Structure 1
Amino acid sequence: MEFTEVVRNRYSCKNFDAGKAVDAAKLTEILEAGRVAPTAKNFQEQKIYVIQSAEGLAKIDKATPCRYNASTCLVVAFDRTNVFTYPGGRRDSGVEDATIVATHMILAAANAGVDSCWVNFFDPEQLAKELGLPENEEILMIMDLGHAAPGAVPLPNHGSRKPLADTVAYL
């Protein structure tokens, strides 16, 4: 698919066909897009957890009402002990690098014909504990993956965008 078509047409699916799984080859393609995403100093501090089992999906459901029947969830985390600290010492690369990785995977999913939804409506510490993640890892987000249920459509305001002049300034 043409890249501009991918970014214009991709939307956060909130109604997945629970009976239609993500093809293993497409899942690998999506995960590979995250693997090659750039990270500060190439630290590659991301950790992606693939959740597909009934037990794992039940843990996601316990943490959030926003799985929307997705057959696969990716939990995107990063290792807090392996981040680049920026000059001034106030910020590090963890959240932004994991965000870049997640964005690559979301766009790769759209390109592969797999629908997705970025989910932040959960307590990351509670979910990390529920999944038994190491204490040095911080969860950024959950990515629902699957195929839209029949009749699923973007939210009504999906195509509404401010003019470029309202969001960009040339200095």
Structure 2
Amino acid sequence: MRAFKDQKIDRPITLKILEAARLAPSAVNFQPWRFIVVDDEHLLENLWLSYPRQWIKSAPQAILICGDHSESWKRAADNKDHCDIDAAIAIDHITLMAASMGIGTCWVCNFNPQIIRESFHLPENLEPIAIIPMGYPQETLLPSEKKRKDLADIAFHNGLTTPFE
């Protein structure tokens, strides 16, 4: 969603969206995430400075998702850190719950993390992972018209040689 109405999101709606994120699964149930609800104009401006696109200025609220790598599960075989995966699952819960309540969102990862880190006084153990601008859409939400790969190009049966059709 890239255009929002000038209308605040009521606190009970935001709490329901956060509850959906809280209930998201995470590796070994470590829940290495932090969700910062941002509706202060100065802090929203700082989010915009970290991702200077005009459309983001219209969002009356955002959720900043941070991950704590010191709390996340690491796979023993190769020490793969699942913090970003866990955060992505929670973000998906946020965007789906928001959409079900008529709230538009957009997943933003292309931002300057140093601006975020300084603006929100994040400790070293917290990494800013994504910004989710939120608001009531100016237009009715429509299914995505982006070109998607055919299922036969991405789903396979018992290996990578036979498409799952």
TM-score > 0.5, shorter chain as reference: yes
Give TM class, smaller chain. Answer: 0.7 to 0.9
C-alpha displacement at 1:161, in angstroms?
2.3
TM-score (norm 1): 0.84
2:136 to 141, 147, 150: 147
Q: 1:123 to 1:152 in 2, by over 3 A?
A: farther
Task: State how far apart, in whole Å, the 1-side matches of 2:142 and 2:129 are.
Answer: 24
C-alpha displacement at 1:51, in angstroms?
0.4
C-alpha displacement at 1:152, in angstroms?
7.0
Return 5+ residue gaps in structure 2 as ranges. 159-165
| Cα RMSD after superposing both structures | 1.8
1:133 to 122, 126, 138: 122
Aligned length: 156
C-alpha displacement at 1:90, in angstroms?
3.7
Q: Report if aligned partners of 1:14, 1:68 keep a CA contact under 8 Å in 2.
A: no
C-alpha displacement at 1:153, in angstroms?
6.6
The equivalences for 1:3-152 within 5 A come to 13-17=1-5, 19-66=6-53, 67-149=56-138, 151=139
Q: Which amino acid is 2:4 matched to?
A: F
Task: State how far apart, in whole Å, the 1-side matches of 2:118 and 2:97 are.
Answer: 29
C-alpha displacement at 1:158, in angstroms?
2.3
C-alpha displacement at 1:42, in angstroms?
0.6
C-alpha displacement at 1:167, in angstroms?
1.4
Task: State how far apart, in whole Å, the 2-side matches of 1:76 and 1:102 are.
Answer: 8
Task: State how far apart, in whole Å, the 2-side matches of 1:51 and 1:137 are.
Answer: 17
Partner of residue 3, structure 1 = none
Q: Report if aligned partners of 2:21, 2:91 keep a CA contact under 8 Å in 1.
A: yes
Return 5+ residue gaps in structure 1 as ranges. 1-12
